[in-house]
Structure 1
Amino acid sequence: MSIVRRLDKAVSLALKSNLQLNLIGDVIKGLVENSLDAGSTEIRISVQLDNIICIECEDNGHGIPPSELEKIGSEYWSSKGVLKLEDLEDLKTYGFRGETLHSLSQISKALRISSKVLSSDRSFTTVYNNGTHVVSLTECDDYGIGSPQGTVVKITGLFYNLPVRRTYISNTSQKSISQQIKLALFPLCATNPDLSIKINLIEPDVSCEKSILSVSKAVSPDDRLSTSFDLIFGNMGSSMVPLQSSHMDYKADSIFGLNPTFNISHRFIFLNKRLVMDERLYNLITRELAQLYKSQNVHRPSFAFVVSFTGPQHPSELTQGPQKTINTVHEIQTLTYLTKCLIDKVAVNYIGSLQHNKRMIDSFKEAPEKNKTRKIQPLKDNISPFFCSNLKLSKDDLSSVKLVGLMDQKFIVVTLVTKHQGTVLLALDQHACDERVKAEKLFQNYINNLSNCSVAIENITWDLPEMVMNLFSTFEFSLSTWGIRFISLNSRIILTHLPSVLTEGKLSHESLKSGILQYLSDLEAGKKCPKPPGEKWFETLPFIPDMIINVVNSLACRSAVKFGTSLDTAQCRTIIQNLKSCELPFQCAHGRPSMVPLTML
């Protein structure tokens, strides 16, 4: 019999630290936040990705007095002055929990913190080895910040006691880790215009350093937003328009861009320098910008935005998780008002010819949700979606279907005997049922012939920023899996092959580009898996790029029997028989019900 026991303290501390700092980007972000809290304006970081991972962070902050340095690294000890919850209202720092350095001490072979304050001509050091405080305080002479004050944190053997994490990092390319670090630091770079930061990657084998990130002090807040965007995502920030707005005690600095190369990974909202994850604001901006696109007859919206709000903060916004993000904004009405003001300015800047009807934004009312097309998803236990009645049908029940006749050249009327609820009279939507049959045949043919699905096309050439080029390089195999092949040349992608279903769909170059970029974004964000399972064709559907799914559904819709088409008995029986073999017989290719119950017999 198993015995419930308390985890060893060293194990629990390592696990807890890994929740806070599970990637190299998280570690560097935590160090930079500490430096910013200390008033730093210049930060230098070096990273060594060898068998032993080492990181060194130097800053010109106000330093740590010797009397306080010996307490650094103790859990829940902090210099931020937060003794009770009420103190959070006036908090001006990123940290206040006293967790970052303590967590680092538990997952590093050695952690060395050296610091010097302006009032002293000496520097002091405290050291942790294997999570144990071995040197509480000692004077040192190797202080190398090159400033009259500041702090140096040296980490040796990061993740030494987490072998799975080390294996993951060793199997990750330097390019991916560099991009991970950039993304982790983007919120800090974008919202701190006075910050100058340099990050170098040390390559021991060749004894040289490679620059990962170099950010200089900005001229203005909106200049920092666009330059930071350029550095992280390639030269795209310069094409974005800076916009400002204010209301009561809140202010918004932002940049907006409408461009086919933008996608969902290029959208950020900050509040008091903290990343906001509240989907209400993201959905509001996305919905309003999509409406602007719709007014210009653009089918697939592609846009980016970075919005930085500043104003009073609520304690609840600072205690929503270890990542220091804001999942739920307290003053949602005020930020909604400011957001709508910004959207109005976007309309003026980007669509000057549009007769934009200015809304009554002071009502703080959000527009109702639009009807969304449901994606193809298996129904639970193959149960039909008859939400308006107590009738529930399974796929097996379709074996008892008997044809009654055709009604109004729209519906095929049938009877069906259920296992527990008797006989039911059903109306099958002839278009929806035939669309379902054709969609599954198209998907099955495409998936079962992936190795031969690619056809040569007349070359399509796109000039893309560095970050997007990196995504093409990283996920080249995933794209080729679905029949999308290309040649990479400097900052240019040359598309040479496409799956035959896309050529049949006759997508425009703009739609094709937007669809591929969305798929790459989904892969990067983990919304799509790079490799399909490869067992049954139906299990592969969730892995297919949305662009291809939409085209197949469209082809099925266009070729399916239309309303108003008169069908003879043989044609009706054929549709019914084909529907019985479908994986999702109760819904059309777009997710709408394919049949409705009329009455019980």
Structure 2
Amino acid sequence: MIKCLPTEVQGKLRSGVAIPSLQQCVEELVLNSIDAGATCVGVRIDMEAFKVQVIDNGSGMTAEDMENVGIRYHTSKCSSVEDLENLRFHGFRGEALASIVSLATLVEMSSRSRLSVKTHVKLFKDGQGMAVFESETARPSAGTTVIICNFFHNMPVRRKRVDVVLEGERIRQRVEAVSLMHPSVSFTLKNDCTGTMMVQLPKARDTYHRFVQIHNLARAEKLGEISHTHKQFEVTGYLGKEGHYNNSLQYLYVNDRLLLKTRIHKLLNCLLRRLSSSNQKNDSPDGTSVIQRPKHKRNQDLYGVYIINIKCSCSEYDICLEPAKTLVEFKDWDGVLLCIEVAVKAFLRRERLVSLFSQEDLDCVSPKVFGTERTDQKDETEMAGQGAIGASTLDISVGMKLASDFVHRRSAVDSVCLESDLIDSRTDEAQRYDLMDVTQDRVHGQNPQNHKVPVEPSLDSSCKHQLDEDGSTCSDWLHHYDTSVGKTVYINTKTGLSRYEEPASEETRVPCTSDVSNMAVSVISEMDDANENSLSSLYSKWKNPVFVRPPTVGVDISSGQADGLAVKIHSILFPYRFSKNMIHSMKVVNQVDKKFLACLINARDGDSAAQTDTEGNLLVLVDQHAAHERVRLENLVEDSYEDDPDATGAKRLCSSTILPPLEISVTEEELRLLRSSQPHLKNLGLEVTFSKTGAPQLFVGKVPLCFMEKESNELRRGRPSVIKPIVEEYLREQTELLRVTGRVTGTLPLTVLKVLASLACHGAIKFNDTLSRDECHSLVASLSSCQLPFQCAHGRPSIVPLVDVLHLDKEQKDFQKPNLQKLRRMYKAWELYGNK
């Protein structure tokens, strides 16, 4: 039989959904104070007793209003459908106070209206309201005070899950977020357990000055104002010119209401993810930016900083998707996203923060990468002037890295040709457009169509031809200065092999032929022979062999990338998935070029026992440096742990004492989180003591052992100390994990893994190291025992498939033997008649 639930049961079920956390409870009370016109709001929390007190100087409530306060669906903010469509307040459902009352043992509400000198009080015990009475102690001014005791008393599971320190930090962050949209209101937040003032914000002039109060002037100076209107949406706020190490400085609002985890956040993070100190240049010979080097890609770990408020009609969105009202659904998502995107891009252009080859170009790149088109003779004559060098066009809509590398490599080839006096510099300047200017127009969107930039396709060939006559090696080799190692790298355009030594002119050259016997696709390319050794063909994108490719073959070869097409089509027709069982069947053939180990792997289908017994069919190349790096990394990780004497069967990171202790400066938030996590830090190899003066700093007496090994290696090489930056990054990583995931115990910390990977890399076998056959077998055997043998410590593949020997042409060709008798007759005839 279907029955209606009793009223008290309905209220209890609804209350647990409407107020899911103590943070939400505090926010609802603070927003009620703001809706009441308060200019001063004070919050006091006692997390151990689950007690909350909120005091304001708003308009207050009369005795008549006090009778109805705390009753579900009773509110003074909305009385009709018209009010619901034109909301002027944060709350409008009349559920917040009623839900709070049903979740607390005792709730006391005292209020004085501006038209009265009396203060009225109403008590709620176990969800039941008492009669309103006049307080013996009158309030000095109008306003309301709400005191909540023993919150979540009837929800023991939820109460047990509350982390006292982390929940306190979440309340602080939410109060600060609310204060940004109400700078004319002063806010205070006090922790009664510790007696500390967590938030103390006086009235501010505007949002910018409120941000200065919260995050100091140095960070606020890096903000820039934005404002844009598109149709019914208006976007105002501030954007940061530099990134932040976490997303705690991202504030998004709709009509002053805070939003969390929406599609707008994703768009903003996509647009701002490249913001960092990208304008700083290093001292490399080619003048490239520091962040372009693999060791310094720290900007990928940074988050954008923004304070954005979207103003629109309440009928344009729905914010009641969940009780916290932090999710939103817009009627016109395209309109609001376009408004945000235009505003952000205008800011980036104004501040000159757009990279030359931005990610936007990479996302919008057409499938034709470095596609060439021949122009007619008339166009060539008009563009080249009096020169004899033919011109072709180069599509500028290319990927960021490919284009930038092409420019650097192209300039290297041009420098070789100029040094040999092959072409006149004035002719070179007359035939070349400014690539930087054209690309800048594309990045800023001033000219959306594809630009065509004339280049010289025959420049490389003419340079090669002329230098071959002089005995140089420019025809087969390109050189490029590698800033990471400080050496010039020579790359063979035919074999793809690289070396640091300059190739000799008399070096034996082996002709390379293309075997297309196993290709299942007819290839027709418009690329002429003059461009077959172009730099674009050297950058054919490598596909990771561990992912299975679809069986269908649909290849677009119009881009001119036919040089590497045979390998790509073979990978489509015959995909391979490496498994650890295959590694056990690996047999070493020999070392190749002092860089790789040629091995045979059994890639046939079948069980592991059969695979180890049969002969390998797949020829692979094992990167000797990557393989040894992986072996060393897993050994170092295993040696980094020791038995925990305080917990039977548990492990902890090995630590080493550092004298004198490191003095690390932290923020107030980090100090509170780290102070509550000392046992956890001890398991991570850290011994932390705190300043007795209460200053936001701490002293680290023990660090993980690998940190000290890294420090000694750097000092031995004559480099500056790195121990303090590593420890600071380690502490920041742990506080961020505490803030985001709570006290969940994870795997090996990322900072420790990075240090171990660096140690593994520096001690591993290098390229050009000669290995004996026994050493090769030992390396392969060690690699087969690794947990992740397919990549090095930094994620680079360690094994690459080369060819399946079962697909090779095994037909024995019959070579015709020479006719000795005929040769004898011809020789005799030459003796008789040849001298005459």
TM-score, length-normalised on structure 1?
Answer: 0.76
Correspondence for 1:590: 794
Correspondence for 1:307: 307
Q: 1:212 Cα deviation (Å)?
A: 4.0
- Give the counterpart of 1:560 among 764, 767, 770: 764
2:235/2:339 contact within 8 Å kept: no
2:43/2:189 contact within 8 Å kept: yes
Is 1:454 aligned with 2:656?
yes
- Give the counterpart of 2:134 among 140, 152, 155: 140
C-alpha separation in 1, matches of 2:51 and 2:689: 36
User: Cα–Cα, structure 1 residues 346 and 516, in superposed 2: closer, same or farther, change >3 Å?
Assistant: farther
1:529/1:543 contact within 8 Å kept: no
Is 1:62 aligned with 2:55?
no
C-alpha separation in 2, matches of 1:528 and 1:483: 19
2:222/2:242 contact within 8 Å kept: no
1:200/1:210 contact within 8 Å kept: yes
C-alpha separation in 2, matches of 1:455 and 1:358: 56
C-alpha separation in 2, matches of 1:518 and 1:212: 20
1:227/1:238 contact within 8 Å kept: no
For 2:54, the aligned partner's letter is C
1:337/1:364 contact within 8 Å kept: no
User: Cα–Cα, structure 1 residues 287 and 497, in superposed 2: closer, same or farther, change >3 Å?
Assistant: same
C-alpha separation in 1, matches of 2:241 and 2:75: 40
User: Cα–Cα, structure 1 residues 255 and 216, in superposed 2: closer, same or farther, change >3 Å?
Assistant: farther
Correspondence for 1:336: 341
- The Cα offsets for residues 480-531 of structure 1, whole Å up to 9 and x where unpaired, read as 4333344433333344443232233346367425522431333322448564
- Give the counterpart of 1:413 among 590, 599, 605: 599
C-alpha separation in 2, matches of 1:13 and 1:564: 75
Aligned residues: 544
C-alpha separation in 1, matches of 2:805 and 2:103: 66
User: Cα–Cα, structure 1 residues 481 and 328, in superposed 2: closer, same or farther, change >3 Å?
Assistant: farther
- Give the counterpart of 2:669 among 435, 455, 467: 467
- The Cα offsets for residues 106-148 of structure 1, whole Å up to 9 and x where unpaired, read as 211133434444445655555543234x34x635335754324
Q: 1:17 Cα deviation (Å)?
A: 3.5
2:674/2:735 contact within 8 Å kept: no
1:106/1:130 contact within 8 Å kept: yes
For 1:319, the aligned partner's letter is C
1:41/1:194 contact within 8 Å kept: yes
2:241/2:275 contact within 8 Å kept: no
Correspondence for 1:512: 726
Correspondence for 2:228: 247
- The Cα offsets for residues 256-312 of structure 1, whole Å up to 9 and x where unpaired, read as 4869xx630542222233144323213432322364568863633568734233432
Is 1:481 aligned with 2:687?
no
Correspondence for 1:435: 629
- Give the counterpart of 2:77 among 76, 80, 100: 80
Correspondence for 2:251: 269
C-alpha separation in 1, matches of 2:662 and 2:352: 31
For 1:147, the aligned partner's letter is S
- Give the counterpart of 1:214 among 190, 195, 200: 200
Q: 1:328 Cα deviation (Å)?
A: 7.0
2:247/2:305 contact within 8 Å kept: no
C-alpha separation in 1, matches of 2:138 and 2:739: 39
Correspondence for 1:524: 738
C-alpha separation in 2, matches of 1:562 and 1:21: 60
User: Cα–Cα, structure 1 residues 190 and 494, in superposed 2: closer, same or farther, change >3 Å?
Assistant: same
Correspondence for 1:403: 588
C-alpha separation in 2, matches of 1:579 and 1:9: 67
- The Cα offsets for residues 425-468 of structure 1, whole Å up to 9 and x where unpaired, read as 14143233222212111111112475644242565434444333
C-alpha separation in 2, matches of 1:318 and 1:184: 17
Is 1:425 aligned with 2:411?
no
User: Cα–Cα, structure 1 residues 44 and 387, in superposed 2: closer, same or farther, change >3 Å?
Assistant: same
User: Cα–Cα, structure 1 residues 573 and 191, in superposed 2: closer, same or farther, change >3 Å?
Assistant: same
- Give the counterpart of 1:191 among 174, 177, 181: 181
1:193 match: secondary structure:
coil
C-alpha separation in 2, matches of 1:360 and 1:586: 38
For 1:55, the aligned partner's letter is V
Correspondence for 2:537: none
Correspondence for 1:172: 164
TM-score, length-normalised on structure 2?
Answer: 0.57
Q: 1:47 Cα deviation (Å)?
A: 3.4
C-alpha separation in 2, matches of 1:290 and 1:321: 38
Q: 1:582 Cα deviation (Å)?
A: 0.9
2:41/2:55 contact within 8 Å kept: yes
C-alpha separation in 2, matches of 1:495 and 1:304: 30
Gaps of 5+ in 2: 282-287, 354-436, 449-543, 550-573, 644-651, 715-720, 807-836
- Give the counterpart of 2:747 among 543, 546, 554: 543
User: Cα–Cα, structure 1 residues 590 and 458, in superposed 2: closer, same or farther, change >3 Å?
Assistant: same
- The Cα offsets for residues 31-70 of structure 1, whole Å up to 9 and x where unpaired, read as 101111222212233434565x333323232334555554
C-alpha separation in 1, matches of 2:634 and 2:251: 40
Q: Which has the larger radius of gyration?
A: 2
User: Cα–Cα, structure 1 residues 406 and 511, in superposed 2: closer, same or farther, change >3 Å?
Assistant: same
For 1:111, the aligned partner's letter is V
Q: 1:227 Cα deviation (Å)?
A: 0.5
Q: 1:550 Cα deviation (Å)?
A: 1.4
Is 1:285 aligned with 2:280?
no
Identity across the alignment (%): 23
Correspondence for 2:548: 387
For 2:149, the aligned partner's letter is T
Alignment of 1:91-110 (within 5 A): 91-110=87-106
Gaps of 5+ in 1: 231-235, 349-354, 366-382, 532-541
For 2:53, the aligned partner's letter is E
2:688/2:699 contact within 8 Å kept: yes
2:662/2:699 contact within 8 Å kept: yes
Deviating more after overlay: 465-474 vs 415-424: 415-424
For 2:226, the aligned partner's letter is S
Deviating more after overlay: 322-331 vs 273-282: 322-331
Structure with the larger RCO, 1 or 2 (CA within 8 Å, 6+ apart): 1
C-alpha separation in 2, matches of 1:88 and 1:571: 78
1:289 match: secondary structure:
coil
User: Cα–Cα, structure 1 residues 498 and 266, in superposed 2: closer, same or farther, change >3 Å?
Assistant: same
Q: Quick check: which one's strand share is greater? A: 1
User: Cα–Cα, structure 1 residues 411 and 227, in superposed 2: closer, same or farther, change >3 Å?
Assistant: same
1:59/1:145 contact within 8 Å kept: no
For 1:445, the aligned partner's letter is D
User: Cα–Cα, structure 1 residues 283 and 82, in superposed 2: closer, same or farther, change >3 Å?
Assistant: farther
- Give the counterpart of 1:227 among 210, 213, 221: 213
For 1:438, the aligned partner's letter is R
1:113/1:153 contact within 8 Å kept: yes
- The Cα offsets for residues 231-277 of structure 1, whole Å up to 9 and x where unpaired, read as xxxxx766644431212263533374869xx6305422222331443
C-alpha separation in 2, matches of 1:402 and 1:488: 57
1:384/1:586 contact within 8 Å kept: no
Deviating more after overlay: 412-421 vs 547-556: 412-421
Q: 1:560 Cα deviation (Å)?
A: 3.0
Correspondence for 1:160: 153
C-alpha separation in 1, matches of 2:603 and 2:62: 82
Q: 1:553 Cα deviation (Å)?
A: 1.8
2:324 match: secondary structure:
coil
- The Cα offsets for residues 149-193 of structure 1, whole Å up to 9 and x where unpaired, read as x33323232111122444455x735xx554343122111122211
User: Cα–Cα, structure 1 residues 209 and 226, in superposed 2: closer, same or farther, change >3 Å?
Assistant: same
RMSD: 4.1
Deviating more after overlay: 156-165 vs 396-405: 396-405
For 2:212, the aligned partner's letter is S
1:288 match: secondary structure:
coil
For 2:228, the aligned partner's letter is H
